[in-house]
Structure 1
Amino acid sequence: MTEFRTPGRELARFRLRVVVAMLFVCLCLGLLATRFYYLQVLRHEYYLTRAEDNRIALLPTVPHRGTIMDRNGVVLARNYATYTLEITPDQVEDVEATLDELATLVAIEARDRRRFMKLLEESRNFESVPVRSRLSDEEIARIVSQRYRFPGVEVKARLLRDYPQGAVASHIVGYIGRINQRDVERIEQADNEANYRGSQHIGKAGLELFYETELHGITGVEQVEVNAGGRAVRALSRIAPIQGNDLELTLDIELQRVAEKAFGERRGALVAIEPASGGVLALVSTPTFDPNLFVDGISTQDWKALNDSPDHPLLNRAIYSAYPPGSTFKPFMALAGLEMGKRTARQAIADIGYFNLGNHRFMDDKIGGHGMVDLHKSIVVSCNTYYYQLAHELGIDNIAKFMGPLGFGSRTGIDLPGEASGVLPSPEWKRERFRRPEQQQWYAGETISVGIGQGYNAYTPLQLASALATLLNNGKQYRPHIVRHVVDSLSGERRAVEREPVREIPLKPANVKAVLDGMVGVNSEGTGRRAFQGAAYTSGGKTGTAQVFSLRGQRYEEKRLRERLRDHSWFIAYAPAQAPQIALAVLVENGGFGAQSAAPIARQVMDYYLLHQRAGGPAAEDAEADEADESVDAGPKDEEVVEPAAEPGLPARGAARSPAPAAGRRAQ
């Protein structure tokens, strides 16, 4: 069958199809134009900002850390320029291979690689990452001469922290170290992430930690144009960082050096305070450590040596370790008796060599006793019986009430991290300290122990030095502080840290004078006379001995005990007696009698501070001989003798844990 087509109809169909196609094309073009309008006009600002963000990178500029210097301008912590080997990841094809090749030119240890890889994960591709710091001139020459082989590898000058005094005053200054996860959490909690962008180090201990906000400074920002591959093309703008503020200390670094040297190889602590201001002149904890080890990451070997040492060199004994104060507590007990009306300066008691309380007999240090003893003599000869009776008459509540405001059993607030509060015993403290009801009861015999500085008493050397300074100020109490001024890095303005006393305790000047006169007698005619014989100044002091473990009624024989089980040696002192310029507390762990170990150290420190003499005082053997002449160990008798105890091997921090009262030990 033949189909007939009409040309007009075919043309009409074709034209219809063309029109439909044109309409479809116009619709598509319209949609495309609408989308272009939306993107280029309506969303112009948004996408322009996104494009600029891809083109411009903000690089942090780390500020210079503030300097720390002593009261005479001697630098204790500073920054120094060093050359660092660094790699920019986006310019290196194979980082691992590059490290292997660089290791043929300079020493790159395993820990350097680990640190580099960790930093690499946290950095951007266009930021250089340090591989090795403190390059020698020879190492720099090797790298520079072969630089053409290592695109993306540079030698840059960076600032590192340096502690020019080494181990001297290390517990005060502290150290910085690389930022770890715990530091990151602390920075985030303070909402300070922006100021630590680019920073690799932060204060870890001492003043470096306590004054981190002042020392760190304000991070700057540099705008850098980068290409599509993330490589930096050119710098666009820069906001300079603001250097951290400097710290001027109350510390005298030469006095600190003399004090540390006086300890020799012995463990212990010393705190010397300027009574008129509360400024710390010296704060010693021995043994010490070199803070430079921590700056760029301490090695495993060095860390193990410090952390596993039985001498605990990282422990700041001056503010963290709490010890029974022994007889150094007696001047404060004497003042409590005067202030609370339980004694007068001339009132005397008959010391027959012991004090009876119920079925217990508390022995004096001298067989047969010291005879008639008034307040002055009780301090000079360190009569235990006088303070047994006084503690019994005062009662534990009155003792705690009087000693608390002097700072015993609470933190002083010194501007160093890690201060311990110590233990000022009381019935309330004991109820909170122990769980079992039978342990929570306070016994009258425990009060007797507290009266001679034993039992549950446990205070830091800082607390004793601060309490003595308050006594010398007739009750005016300053917060002990290390930093005297914070120096603004921009204006140079020096901002004082401490000016006004934090508290004024109402003490009667006559009572304070009676106690201080007794302490002068200690150094002129008592247990401290040998150590201060021939001094060109008049001083006051008090020796003390703190038990490490309970003898359970046995005689104390130092030579038969292991060194770490021997008594701790205490001495508190001030000078000149007429107008005190320095008050100090000295503690020698397991040093024995106070006059034997601690008093000669105090003499050397005072000689240097007052006379600028680097050595002074007699030998320890002479002091020991004098102490042997002064009193005789009573030893156990047929009567029951009860003594306080700390378990053998307990760490220095914390109070003696035995509920039994002390008796029958040598008083100092």
Structure 2
Amino acid sequence: MNDNSAFVNDTEMKRLFSRRVLFASIVAIVVGFMVLGRYFDLQVNQHQDFVTQSNNNRVLMRPVSPPRGLIFDRNGELLADNKPTYNLTIVNERSGNLEVLLNDLRQLIEISSQDIYQFKNRLKRRKPYQNIPLKYNLSERERSILGVNSFRLNGAEVSAKLTRYYPQGPFFAHVIGYVGRINEIENRNIDTSLYRGTDSIGKLGIEKYYEHALLGKLGHEHVETNARGRVMRSLSKEDPIPGANLELYLDANLQRTAQKILGDKRAAFVAIEIKTGGILAMVSTPSYDPNKFVLGISQGDYSELVNSENQPLFNRAIRGQYPPGSTIKPMFGLIGLQNKIITTKHVIDDPGFFVLKGVERPWRDHNSDKGGHGEGIDLAQAIIESCDVYFYNMGLDIGIETLASFSSMFGIGQVTGIDLHGEQPGIMPSKSWKKLTLGEPWFDGDTINVSIGQGFMLATPLQLAVMTARIASRGSQIVPKLVSSKNGVNYTKNDNFPITPLDIHSEYWTYMHQAMRNVVHTPRGTAYRIGKDLNYLIAGKTGTAQVISIDADKEYDKTQIDQTKWDHALFIAFAPAEDPKIAMALIVENGGHGSSTAAPIARVILDAYFNEVEKQMLVGG
């Protein structure tokens, strides 16, 4: 056996051992410091992060949506309400596997592909741990099924929520509008922090114009949840601030009366309270049920509305632009008097037609087949009998530029400033307008057409109502408005809408009021038939607007024309004539003559209004 001990260097071995011990010690110290550093980082630097994550597993802050403000008519009748509904919502972080959860839910209750698609779109815009709606307005049976199976539906929850409801249905759809789900375009343009508790926004009408006031202020609630994400208890709560309640100038009874009598006609009616400028009624028919849009209208229902030839979604009152026909004759008469183009004693002879030098085709009067209105026709008679030839002559003498500039003071050819989005300005043409729009010069024939509310001239029913109110008030610059108060406090719309004052001599107002009264209350008036058995006086003017042109050598025969090309029937009025309280404008598309169609409808509506006023006076007495 060999002995190698003689070859071992004890000193070298000790040095080697010492180096190894030193290296191991250094490694141990470094590792120790690393562990201590990591421990310090976890316990001190990241302490709050882990506390937050822990609380997210146990304590959740949920937005509490404010009740949307209610909307009432002038008498306190509820027009827009909130009612509780039950919705199925999902917190993605609680679901474990979202696709599995969605599949399980579809096996339990009916959930459409559209519901899934919209849910996933909302999911992209959500914040962590936010409840995202999957299905709205659950039935009692669906709620029961989900309740029984809740133990295996982690992340799914049935929550109660206030949803917009319109108790009057179609009667106020075009004025109140409706709310609907926030779409992607709207989501990019709104402050999403204000809408965390809701997925609805005003889409049309009052609901859209006063969205900020009706929305309210979001609240918050801290709730404790279990491992499955179920809410165990509420820890603290900051109550939301409800949206403002709005009271409108609208009279619900008058609105319903007008809509019922107009039925499914393509028509529009606007009534204005002369003292305040408040809109008493604004009707566009046919209408639609706004409740269908609140939680999402079905594709079938929407297609039916969009494809209807009667266009129920179209608000004719503020967006329909029509030739005003003879309803603008009182306004043009006042312009002629004020500019000294005519006097109250100025007369013309009407053979039933008007010939412009150099033009072969004559302009006919509406009763040309009877030989016209005869000799010695003054302005009052031209208003009462609606003599076109008088206005052909006067229009040429005034000139289109003066007609256009003065008409704007009556609200024609520009938006009225009403508190609704989407109002159309109509057209009050001029030489510059035609050159800019059509690239053509203005001709005298264009002025002749405009002088009886035809040609290029277009106006909305709202504009005609505003014009009538300004005539009735002897030039007061009435700006139409819908909202009278917010939360019981009188409200004045502060948008500094520009208005040019009307400066017309008092005697001319009196003269025109009398002429318009005689339209209804004298045998030769075009609306004489509606004046029988009245216990109040109406000042009015009929209008019949051509939709298609008729050759000079042919007679208008509606039996030979498609109904969609019949003349429009119009009527404007204010009453009582001696102390005007209400002004109105009515159009019935393709209704024929204003005297036989529009005026009788207006009489029924005005009767209903004054009967109601009389009842309120008796009750008040």
- Amino acid in the other structure paired with 1:426: S
Q: Summarize deviations over 1:279-303 as a string: whole Å, max 9, x none.
A: 0000010000000110110001100
Which whole-Å CA distance do the structure 2 matches of 1:457 and 1:352 have between them?
26
Given that 1:172 and 1:207 are in contact with CA atoms closer than 8 Å, whether structure 2 keeps it comes out as yes
- Amino acid in the other structure paired with 2:475: G
Q: Percent identity?
A: 39
Deviation at 1:160, TM superposition (A): 1.2
Given that 2:155 and 2:229 are in contact with CA atoms closer than 8 Å, whether structure 1 keeps it comes out as no
Q: Which range moves more in the overlay, 153-162 or 295-304?
A: 153-162
Which whole-Å CA distance do the structure 2 matches of 1:521 and 1:6 have between them?
139
Which residue does the alignment assign to 2:502?
A: 505
Which residue does the alignment assign to 2:249?
A: 250
Which residue does the alignment assign to 1:444?
A: 444
Q: Summarize deviations over 1:565-597 as a string: whole Å, max 9, x none.
A: 000001000100111111000000000110111
Which residue does the alignment assign to 1:606?
A: 606
Which residue does the alignment assign to 1:569?
A: 569
Change (3 A) 1:168 1:473: same
Which residue does the alignment assign to 1:408?
A: 412
Change (3 A) 1:12 1:158: same
Which whole-Å CA distance do the structure 1 matches of 2:323 and 2:561 have between them?
19
Change (3 A) 1:63 1:550: same
Given that 1:269 and 1:284 are in contact with CA atoms closer than 8 Å, whether structure 2 keeps it comes out as yes
Deviation at 1:201, TM superposition (A): 0.8
Which residue does the alignment assign to 1:542?
A: 541
Which whole-Å CA distance do the structure 1 matches of 2:184 and 2:210 have between them?
20
Given that 2:345 and 2:378 are in contact with CA atoms closer than 8 Å, whether structure 1 keeps it comes out as yes
Deviation at 1:85, TM superposition (A): 3.8
Which whole-Å CA distance do the structure 2 matches of 1:5 and 1:134 have between them?
92
The DSSP-based 3-state class of the residue aligned with 2:81 is strand
Deviation at 1:338, TM superposition (A): 0.7
Which residue does the alignment assign to 1:523?
A: 520
- Amino acid in the other structure paired with 1:364: D
Change (3 A) 1:485 1:196: same
Which whole-Å CA distance do the structure 2 matches of 1:426 and 1:16 have between them?
105
Which residue does the alignment assign to 2:473?
A: 473
- Amino acid in the other structure paired with 1:207: I
1:292 aligns with 2:295: no
Deviation at 1:18, TM superposition (A): 2.1
Q: Which range moves more in the overlay, 499-508 or 605-614?
A: 499-508
Which residue does the alignment assign to 2:580?
A: 580
Which whole-Å CA distance do the structure 2 matches of 1:278 and 1:118 have between them?
44
More helix by share: 2
Which whole-Å CA distance do the structure 2 matches of 1:261 and 1:613 have between them?
19
Deviation at 1:4, TM superposition (A): 3.1
Given that 1:486 and 1:496 are in contact with CA atoms closer than 8 Å, whether structure 2 keeps it comes out as no
Which whole-Å CA distance do the structure 1 matches of 2:226 and 2:168 have between them?
47
Given that 1:125 and 1:230 are in contact with CA atoms closer than 8 Å, whether structure 2 keeps it comes out as no
- Amino acid in the other structure paired with 1:479: V
Which residue does the alignment assign to 1:180?
A: 183
Which whole-Å CA distance do the structure 1 matches of 2:405 and 2:247 have between them?
37
Which whole-Å CA distance do the structure 2 matches of 1:145 and 1:597 have between them?
61
Deviation at 1:564, TM superposition (A): 0.2
Q: How does 1:544-559 map to 2 (within 5 A)?
A: 544-553=543-552, 554-559=554-559
Q: Summarize deviations over 1:495-537 as a string: whole Å, max 9, x none.
A: 4447999643222111111111110010012000102221110
Which residue does the alignment assign to 2:427?
A: 423
Out of 138, 148, 165, the residue aligned to residue 162 of structure 1 is 165
Which whole-Å CA distance do the structure 1 matches of 2:27 and 2:120 have between them?
57
Which residue does the alignment assign to 2:214?
A: 215
Change (3 A) 1:386 1:21: same
Which residue does the alignment assign to 1:592?
A: 592
- Amino acid in the other structure paired with 1:400: A
Which residue does the alignment assign to 1:627?
A: none
Deviation at 1:25, TM superposition (A): 3.4
Q: Summarize deviations over 1:610-642 as a string: whole Å, max 9, x none.
A: 12399xxxxxxxxxxxxxxxxxxxxxxxxxxxx
Aligned length: 598
Q: Which range moves more in the overlay, 283-292 or 7-16?
A: 7-16
Q: Summarize deviations over 1:160-216 as a string: whole Å, max 9, x none.
A: 1111001101100111111111111221xxxx2210123211111111111111111
Change (3 A) 1:522 1:293: same
Which whole-Å CA distance do the structure 2 matches of 1:430 and 1:501 have between them?
26
- Amino acid in the other structure paired with 1:466: V
Which whole-Å CA distance do the structure 1 matches of 2:133 and 2:30 have between them?
58
Which residue does the alignment assign to 1:666?
A: none
1:68 aligns with 2:65: no
Change (3 A) 1:63 1:16: same
Given that 1:567 and 1:590 are in contact with CA atoms closer than 8 Å, whether structure 2 keeps it comes out as yes
Please provide the CA RMSD for this pair: 2.8
TM-score by length of 1: 0.83
Given that 1:478 and 1:501 are in contact with CA atoms closer than 8 Å, whether structure 2 keeps it comes out as no
Change (3 A) 1:137 1:4: closer
The DSSP-based 3-state class of the residue aligned with 1:261 is helix
Which residue does the alignment assign to 1:397?
A: 401
Which residue does the alignment assign to 1:433?
A: 437
1:378 aligns with 2:379: no
Given that 1:540 and 1:573 are in contact with CA atoms closer than 8 Å, whether structure 2 keeps it comes out as yes
Change (3 A) 1:51 1:479: farther
Q: Which range moves more in the overlay, 120-129 or 474-483?
A: 120-129
The DSSP-based 3-state class of the residue aligned with 1:183 is helix
Q: How does 1:89-238 map to 2 (within 5 A)?
A: 89-92=92-95, 106-123=109-126, 126-145=129-148, 147=150, 150=153, 152-187=155-190, 192-224=191-223, 235-238=234-237
The DSSP-based 3-state class of the residue aligned with 2:208 is helix
Which whole-Å CA distance do the structure 2 matches of 1:115 and 1:415 have between them?
32
Deviation at 1:83, TM superposition (A): 2.7
Q: How does 1:28-43 map to 2 (within 5 A)?
A: 28-30=31-33, 33=36
